[in-house]
Amino acid sequence: MKTEGSCGSRTENNGGPTGAYEQLKPYLEQAMAIQTALILFEWDNETLAPDQAGPYTARVQGNLASIYQEILTGKTVGDLLGKSQREQGLSEIEQAIIREAQEEREKLACIPPDEYQKFHELAADSARIWAKAKQDQDFEAFAPILEKIISYQKKFAGYQAKDGQKLYDVMLDNYEKGFSMEKLDEFFQMLKKELVPLVRRIRESGTKIRDSFLYGDYPEEKQQELAEYLAGYVGFDFNRGVLAKSAHPFTTSLHNHDVRITTNYKERMDSSLFSVIHEAGHAVYELGIADELTQTLAGQGASMGIHESQSRFFENMIGRNGAFWVPVYPRLKELFPEQLSGIDRETFVRAINKIQPGPIRTEADELTYSLHVMVRYELEKMMIEDDFNVKDLPRLWTDKYEEYLGVKPENVAEGVLQDIHWAQGSFGYFPSYALGSAFAAQMYRYIRKKVDFDELLRQGNIGEIREILRQHIHRFGKLKDSRRLLQDMTGEDFNPRYYIEYLQEKAEKIYFSPS
């Protein structure tokens, strides 16, 4: 017999009173209010909070997380969930909210409350320590807290694991249900087999693509003006959103009327340009979730893979498409007349599609991007499933980058410290980036059959493309999982071959059959 604090616990009640879901709603609304506050603190920590606020605010975040856990794992919520699951006449949305609440309850009920609170305090502090360690290029300053983060994540996964389930599979399931290590190994092996030789072939082709003009004196205030223009152009609603600056670009959503994105501004102008389009893709997804779902546990993206499919779709299928720049490039020339003097649109488009392996994931070209993700996936498996020494991470990171991409990071800031995810405890998240890219390619193939995609971009009519995505993906929130969304939209289950074919065709056009 399981106690109240054990996994999957629920007080059984046969024939409880009607209206259980209506009684449950205020508790779920309280939980969502706490979650919204935590999201707002995370946003503040990454954008505006003063340096010395970290440890003090972390305690507040830990207490709020504890309250969130207490609400969802309490006996009253357990009773009402049990009754609601048996209640007749509930809508599809209400059933989805109950399902999500039960899943969240089962995950949280396994974890001792004091450990849950301490972890959230640790994760809030860890992000601050990571940012400083990255700035100082000092992995040793970050390693001790990373060890603690890993320890907590393994412990929590152990609490949540079903019989025989591996710890890393538990973590993967938090971000993309149904994609275990077995399935991801097969997926990444396919990418490795097809893409690594293609990258090598391109490097050996001798084809030169001019892109030196992307580096140089691009004033931050002008980059910010461009960022705001592009975000709005692709569909970001500034009446319901904010664009700010942070060390690591990200998107966060309080609800579908308050979605926030960030970017940063670098010497290479197109770095911020594409991070903004990428984050705007995330935001357009959140903004498109139905009002009936928002501020509920079902009013979020279906999965991280689907979320990344939208950001990668906007960044690559739209933003790197030459047709996109027909109406947009004149604006770019207005902002940077000296820097882009003598650079026509065709030269610019070839430059932003240049395939050149580098050390930074967020600045990677389309072809090598998933190889960056594969490095992280393989290292995460080692950290979670093997007897692993965190101090070996920089060396292993460098070894894998040399093996798969033929490059070597110059320092830990552009190596193992470049991403914030591990500092936040987000183990299992990274594979979603590669899956999302593959999901996006499958959606792209379907949409091109329905509309003249390039002509819509040439006309500046992104709204029609956005509406197709809203109808098939955005509005559903968590009503459907990733495979159901793909099946209902494209008529078939996930097929990674479309992603490989998309990359091969694009590389062939740019490098081996240039027009």
- Residue 369, token pair as written in the block: 């991007």
DSSP code, position 288? T
Measured in whole angstroms, how far is the alpha carbon of residue 27 from the centre of its chain?
A: 28
Helical ranges in 74-166 per DSSP H: 75-86, 92-109, 113-136, 139-160
What is the SS3 assignment for 332-383?
Answer: HHHHCCCCCCCCCHHHHHHHHCCCCCCCCHHHCCHHHHHHHHHHHHHHHHHH
Name residue 451's beta-bridge partners. Answer: none
Report the candidate in 14, 13, 25 with the shortest Cα–Cα distance to residue 90.
Answer: 25
Give the Cα separation of 361 and 445 in Å (integer). 25
Question: Contact 299/289 with Cβ under 8 angstroms?
Answer: yes
Give the Cα separation of 263 and 251 in Å (integer). 9
In the residue annotation, 378 being an active-site residue is answered as: no
> Which residues are CB-contacts of 500 (< 8 A; sequence separation ≥ 6)?
190, 191, 194, 195
> Which residues are CB-contacts of 39 (< 8 A; sequence separation ≥ 6)?
252, 253, 254
Give the Cα separation of 263 and 274 in Å (integer). 9
- Residue 50, token pair as written in the block: 């003063």
Give the Cα separation of 5 and 73 in Å (integer). 8
DSSP code, position 203? H
- Residue 493, token pair as written in the block: 């289950």
Sign, Cα dihedral of 267, 206, 418, 170: positive
Question: Contact 262/47 with Cβ under 8 angstroms?
Answer: yes
Q: 279, 286, 315, 380: which is the annotated catalytic residue?
A: 279
The residues annotated as belonging to the active site are: 279
